Amino acid sequence: MLFAHPDLLFLLVLFGHIGGSIVAFGPTFAFPFLGSAGGREPQHANFAVRMTELISRRLVGPVALWVGLTGVILVFLARRDFTELWLGLAIVLYVVALLVSIFLAGSNARRLIEATSSPPPMAEQAPAAGSPGHTGPPPQIAPLVATARRYGTILTLLLVAIVLLMVFKPVLA
């Protein structure tokens, strides 16, 4: 059997790199839907946050490291130069994304899990007849959710920028 590229090892590593990218980062595009569903049904908010964190920790994180490893191997197999604009910038963005994910987004997710792990405290006084009872989540949750959204947006933009760099490979003319 003949292949379009003469180096079978390169093709196998490229397959692992692209496949790993799909497996690692594809699920992250569903996270906003999980968060939104948890926000609409506060009794399920903790489950939504726990699922997002579990997928991040057990799937996205480890496979993202695989993507980085196979990317470095591809650079050597293709005899590319790490100083090429698109490649160097993509690597820097990848490292930034890993650091944001591990140290900022992950930490915030753990705080959000803790904050949603128990029902909100009961009011000392029952609400007056006809007035609504507790109408929303505890006040400490809103800033954590806003921070999670912000980190999610940043990570998504970094991922899209990396993919654009990998596809278009811009150079300084």
74-127, pLDDT tens digit by residue?
999 999 999 999 999 999 999 999 999 999 999 999 999 999 998 766 656 666
Report how far residue 108's alpha carbon sits from residue 162's, in angstroms, rounded to the nearest whole number: 24
Residue 2 counted as domain residue: no
Q: Identify the helix (H) or strand (E) that includes residue 4.
A: none
For 10, 99, 100, 161, the CA distances from 151, given in Å and listed in that order, are 34, 11, 8, 15
| pLDDT value of position 127 | 62
Reading the block at residue 61, the tokens are 């994180």
Report how far residue 26's alpha carbon sits from residue 11's, in angstroms, rounded to the nearest whole number: 21
Residue 133 counted as domain residue: no
Identify the domain containing residue 63 by its residue range: 8-119+140-168
Residue 134 counted as domain residue: no
Report how far residue 161's alpha carbon sits from residue 168's, in angstroms, rounded to the nearest whole number: 10
Residue 135 counted as domain residue: no
